[in-house]
Each structure stands twice: as structure tokens, then as C-alpha cells.
A = this chain, B = another copy of it.
């Protein structure tokens, strides 16, 4: 089975698609640009969603649900926002089909034209802030800390499974605050939540930073981002958190009486991560044998394969181990399907990235041991039965740590400081990854660099030191270094 996938070296993009399809994560649907998330892929999303949801609730947020459809006029109320989204909107114009009187089957009923067109939400700031107007009257109603799990749609022309699809699943937090300081603090808190999730659960190291004006969310004052690095040296924007200032409050006239009894516009944030994270997860850890999953997000932690087939003794060991590991919160699959041979099963679970595989054969069992294989390193070892549950647990922890350490070493090695534009271009084409360089802060320079190298400013890292220097492109005075990369 592993022979079927393209290697990363041969064709990175084909390798990625092969894994998505052959590990059974997702596939293209009959609707252009929309994907079907298959059960195994959805199980990973459920793990992500449950953990993120817990972290949102621990930071004081509650969930709600707002309409899928947004009146066209709402989108237009925030000028930058509509510029950012109008070009990729699915537009609902009618509410009924009918049988064609001329016998051409089912057609749109021209009498069911909507007075105002409705847009399938590309993001929900507008409909939510239109609702908040009624919910917020005084500072006592603030902060409002609300999140929504939903599907959204952006009509993308060039799509890739998980990374860029017309419809995707995500969460969008929309909070309302009495002061700018509080809203900024909220947007930073949620960026920290995203970074913690990426690093501790996805085992994917990220750089926290702020976007340049050019790369900001349409309607934001500041966009914070977590940026990850994929194995082909390209950056992936994995999550963003926006300080929206009073832009949406002004567009939708959301005011409150502050504690000095003065009328004031409300301050806003929004923040989101999506099924795109699954794309990042795949590209951070997987290898030429297939998917590699960090144990904390794996739908199955360990698979037990009888060799060559099940017996009463093997059943006992398998059931016993399953029960012990279940108690510790791990999911174990005992694959005793006799229609498929062990070698086939090994390849399949390798492809699906199950962190640990345990093979149980009669000879090993006679010695009181079984064979354990780690998916991350492909190492095999003999494990005594009386240590088995504990060894599996420790190994899962070791895999989680190893995946993070490995991807962090790779990422750290691919942050390169450059002093001039020749170096900039050389590093970008030869080595890839993040290029850190002085930037004069102008959109003009940023766009020139993009034009010449395809690299964009991923962020100004939040932990940057204040430095004085010379812009890598323009030679003008610069007081900050930006992180450039070619990005997904």
C-alpha cells in the first residue's frame, strides 16, 4: 500500500493529496471546490474541536449559532470588509424550484426571486454585529464572549483538500468589549490559546506575530497570526485573531453606556481556526509511508494485529490491553478480521498514521512478549506483556514529544536571517522556510518583494527585539524585522 503514494521528493503536492485520499481523510465532491470529509478525517476534526472548545470555555467563552445567510446589504456596511469578500460569495437569489412548463425538468421558479439577495456567510462579523446591537446597551452587558462552530463558504477557484476549499468548517469567535485595551488583550489571549493548541496538541510549532497592513483581515485594525512551517519549506497561516477596533460597531451602530454614563461605540475582536488545520497537521508530520498523527489527536491510539490470525490466547491479551488502555482514556482497535492478512493491515494502519501498532504472534507470546512498532520512527521493539499497557502509555507520550521536537528542529533550522536581497532570494530558492529580514514598513516594498520572489510577510513576530537597521529591499531605514516566506 505504501508503494502507492508519491514521495515528497518526487512531488510534494501529489504526496499530500495521496495521503489525504489514501488515509481516507477527505475527497473532492461533485460540487466544485467543496470536499467530503470522510469519517477518519472527521474523527480528527472532532478531536480538534473538542479540545479547542474546552479551551474556549476555560477562557470564559460560550457558544451560540447565527444564521447561515447574510443580507447583501449587511456585507456592504463595512467598506474594507465587502472589498475583501465580495469577489468570492455564493449568492442565494431564489427560494423555490418548479417543474418547467416546457418539460425541461426542474427549474428555478422566476416568481420566487428574493427581494434582497442573501450571501452564504464567508465569515459572520456583519450578521453578528447586527445582532449585538440589540444585546448591548450598557457596560454591564460587556464583555460578550461568544464563539460559533459553523460552516462557511468562500468561492475559491483553485482549491486543495483541507488547505483551501470553497466550503470549510471552522469556529469564529466574536467578542465585544468596553475598551480597546480589553479587546486587544482578548485577541492576544486567543492567539495564545491557538498557539498552545498547535504546539501541545498538534505538535506543530508556530510563530506568533502580527500581520502587516497588507495582509490584515478585511475590516481589522490588527491581525495576529500563528504561522507554521510545512516540510516543503512553505509557511502555513494556521489561525488568526483580529482586533477590529470600533469598525463593526460603527458600521452596525452598536453603542453602550459606559460607567460614566457616556454613549460609546463597542470594541470588537474576532478569531478563527478551520479544517485547514488538518492540512497543516498532515504536512507537519507525515512521511513517505503515509499519515503520521500526534497521539493527542489520533482517533485510534494503538492497533493490535494478530499474527497470522486470532486465537483464544491472542484474544485474551488483546482484550486485556484494550481494557487497560481504555481506562487511561486511549482508543485501541483490535483488528482480528481474518479476510485480510497482517501485512495488508500493517500497511493500512501505517497509512492512517496510527501511533502504535502491536503485533501478537504465538512464538512471541510463548516468550511472554509482543512486538510494538512506533509510527513516528518506524522502530520496532519487543515488549514484555506485564509492562505492555505502561509501555504503550509512555510511548504515546514519547511520540507526542518526539513529533514536536522533530518539527521544531526542522522549523528552527529553517528560520534564516539575511542581510541583503541577494541572500534573501538565495535562501528562499535554495533552502526555503522563513527568511527574517529588516523591512522598511511600507506596503510598496512588501509588494515589490512579493512580485519578485512570491514571498509574503507572514508576520512581525511578537517576540521581536527592537532593532535599527536597513531594509533588505529598499535600503531605507528600518526598525523592525519581518518574517517572509512563500505561503500556502
Which A residues form the contact surface with B (CB < 8 A)?
Answer: 29-31, 34-39, 42-43, 45-46, 62-76, 82, 86-99, 105-106, 108, 117-120, 127, 130-131, 140, 146, 150-151, 153, 155, 167, 169, 339
Task: Supply 15 further A-B pairs (C-beta < 8 A) apart from A72-B97, A90-B95.
Answer: A29-B66, A30-B71, A30-B127, A30-B130, A30-B131, A31-B118, A36-B65, A45-B65, A82-B106, A86-B106, A88-B96, A91-B92, A92-B92, A108-B117, A151-B151
CB of A140 to closest CB in B, whole Å:
7
Please tell me which one of the listed residues B29, B76, B155 contacts residue A67 in the complex, with CB atoms under 8 A apart: B29
Assembled-state Cα–Cα distance A91/B130 (Å): 24
A63 nearest in chain B by CB position: B42
Determine the distance from Cα of A106 to Cα of B76 in the docked complex, in whole angstroms.
Answer: 7
- Are B108 and A68 touching (Cβ within 8 A)? no
- With contacts A43-B63, A63-B46, A75-B106 taken as known, whether A87 is within 8 angstroms of B97 at the C-beta atoms is yes
Whether the Cβ atoms of A67 and B167 lie closer than 8 Å is yes
A249 to B34, CA, bound (A): 22
Evaluate contact between A68 and B167: CB separation under 8 angstroms.
yes
Question: Given contacts A86-B106, A92-B91, A127-B31, is CB(A42)–CB(B67) below 8 Å?
Answer: no
CB-CB under 8 A from A68, the residues of chain B are 34, 68, 120, 151, 153, 167
Asked if B105 and A95 make an inter-chain contact with CB atoms under 8 angstroms apart, the answer reads no
| A276 vs B43: C-alpha distance when bound (angstroms) | 26
Shortest CB-to-CB span from A281 to chain B, Å, is 17
Q: Which residue of B lies closest to A96 (CB)?
A: B87
Chain B residues near A45: list those with CB within 8 A. Answer: 65
Which of chain B's residues have a CB closer than 8 A to the CB of A29? Answer: 66-67, 127, 131
User: Are B105 and A120 in contact, CB atoms less than 8 angstroms apart?
Assistant: no
Find chain B residues with CB under 8 A from A82 CB.
Answer: 97, 106
Contact of A64 among B31, B37, B67, B90 (CB under 8 A): B37
Contact pick for A38, options B64, B72, B167, CB 8 Å: B64
Closest chain B residue to A339, Cβ basis: B140
Decide: A35 near B67, CB < 8 A? Known: A96-B155, A117-B108.
yes
**Closest approach, in angstroms, between the C-beta of A248 and any C-beta of chain B?**
15
Q: How far is the CB of A16 from chain B (nearest CB, A)?
A: 20
* Chain B residue, CB-CB nearest to A94: B91
Closest 5 CB pairs of A and B: A34-B67, A86-B97, A39-B62, A37-B65, A91-B94
Bound complex: CA A31 to CA B75 (Å): 13
Which residues of the other chain, B, contact A169 by a CB distance below 8 angstroms? 65
Contact among B72, B92, B98 for A120, CB-based, below 8 A? B92
Name A98's contact: one of B31, B86, B92, B97 (CB within 8 Å): B86
- In the complex, A36→B65 CA distance in Å? 6
Which residues on B sit within 8 Å (CB–CB) of A92? Answer: 90-93, 120
CB-CB under 8 A from A105, the residues of chain B are 73, 76
- In the complex the two chains form, what is the Cα distance from A131 to B99 in whole Å? 26
Tell whether, in the assembled complex, residue B75 and residue A90 are in contact, meaning their CB atoms are under 8 Å apart: no
Report the separation of the CA atoms of residues A435 and B422 in the bound assembly, to the nearest whole angstrom: 86
Q: Collect the chain B residues with CB atoms within 8 Å of residue A95's CB.
A: 88-91, 155
Give min CB distance, A247 to chain B, whole Å.
17
Tell me the complex Cα distance, A418–B146, Å. Answer: 52
CB-based contact A39/B67 at 8 Å = no
Contacts of A69 in B (CB 8 A): 31, 34, 90, 153, 167
Contact (Cβ within 8 A) A31 B71: yes
Q: Is the CB of B91 within 8 A of A93?
A: yes
Q: How far is the CA of A76 from the CA of B120 in the complex (A)?
A: 23
Complex CA–CA separation, A127 to B146 (angstroms): 32
Bound Cα distance A418, B440 (Å):
87
List B contacts of A67 (CB < 8 A): 29-31, 34-36, 167
| Bound CA span A117–B94, Å | 10
Closest to A145 in B: B39
Shortest distance from the beta carbon of A51 to any chain B beta carbon, whole Å: 15
What CA separation (Å) do A221 and B45 show in the bound complex? 34
